[in-house]
Structure 1
Amino acid sequence: MTTTSLSKAAFKHIESELYYYHDTLKEIDRLRKEIMFGYNNEDENIGGGRSSEPGRPTERIATRLLTHKRLRNLEEMAEAILYAYESLSDDHKSVIKTKYWSQKRLTWDDVSIQLNMHRNTAMKLRKDVIYLIAEKIGWV
């Protein structure tokens, strides 16, 4: 992995993103639907006449999807987490699933016991995951 240091706050932020990865995916889906279909399907053109927005609704929606900052940030983090998950070893994946994606909030001692590895090994795998995600999103 990289030797560049990551601030404690950034480390904790990425770890938090790992905990809420599946919620992030749901939020991305919700935002995309909201952008594509709007809050509701009301006709804003009350009174007839031409719409003030130009035609080409597909281009308009595509532009909104690409320029929505929150959506972009969520997608970037989700892609980085997926990239890290898919590119690391089975041991790394086990740590991610057990610690971050389990319904139970386990301590690192519990994680190491459940995965039959030393606590220091689990912590090293954790650090590898966090730094790979940080590297992918350009934080290190």
Structure 2
Amino acid sequence: MKLKRATFRHIEAEIYAYNDTIKAIEELRADIILAGRQGELGAAVGGGGYITSKVERRATKLADSLLLREMERITKAIAEVYAKSKEEVRRVVWVKYGLAIDWQPPQELAQKLQNRNRFDLTARDMAEILAVDESTFHRYRTGFVYGIAEKLGWY
């Protein structure tokens, strides 16, 4: 079965935005946890007649945040697939998407890409920088995206 083009592009957009998403998750958590810190931490009678504290309500809000959970699920899938990837795949992912999780690209590869904008490079250019065949570049890139889709249950 083949991924729909829109799904493939969505996963690619998530890969490009991985570092920004991690920052957004941290900020969202902090906003939820720190919300209401101005008031006292006490107890209040809830709608069902039971006593709930503001801390409990914040914790529930944090746990129930659908946006937060989906962002965490996607970033976790990307990180897991990345962690299982071979060195060659990591190189392709770094050149294509600029993503390096607990990995440093080789110095010579970083120098080749230093004064170039990855968004202006064609697949052929990226394959030349990586010293691989263009079909190999596509195979690694597609395999990485499909691995993420599989982890997310989108494939």
Choose which of 52, 55, 58 in structure 1 pairs with 2:53. 55
1:85 and 1:50, CA in 2 relative to 1: closer, same or farther beyond 3 A? closer
CA–CA distance in structure 2, aligned partners of residues 64 and 26 of structure 1: 19
* Deviation at residue 56 of structure 1 after TM alignment: 6.5
Residue identity matched to 2:10: H
DSSP 3-state at the match of 2:28: helix
For 1:83 and 1:50, the matched residues in 2 are separated by: 41
Of residues 128, 131, 135, the one that matches 2:146 is: 131
Name the SS for the 1:43 alignment partner.
Answer: coil
Identity of aligned residues (%): 34
Per-residue CA distance 1:78-101 (angstroms, 9 max, x = gap): 000001100111111111111101
Write out aligned runs for 1:12-91 (5 A).
Answer: 12-38=9-35, 41-43=37-39, 51-52=44-45, 54-55=52-53, 57=55, 59-91=56-88
Give the TM-score normalised by structure 1.
Answer: 0.84
**Residue 122 (structure 2) aligns with:** 107
Offset at 1:65? 1.9
The number of equivalent residue pairs is: 132
Greater length-normalized contact order (CA 8 Å, ≥ 6 residues apart) = 1
Computed over aligned residues only, the root mean square deviation of the Cα atoms, in angstroms, reads 2.3
What is the Cα deviation at residue 66 of structure 1? 1.8
Structure 1 gap segments, 5+ residues each: none
For each residue in 1:105-125, what CA deviation from the matched residue of structure 2 results, as whole angstroms up to 9, or x when unmatched?
A: 233222111111011111110
CA distance in 1, matches of 2:45, 2:27: 27
SS at match of 1:134: helix
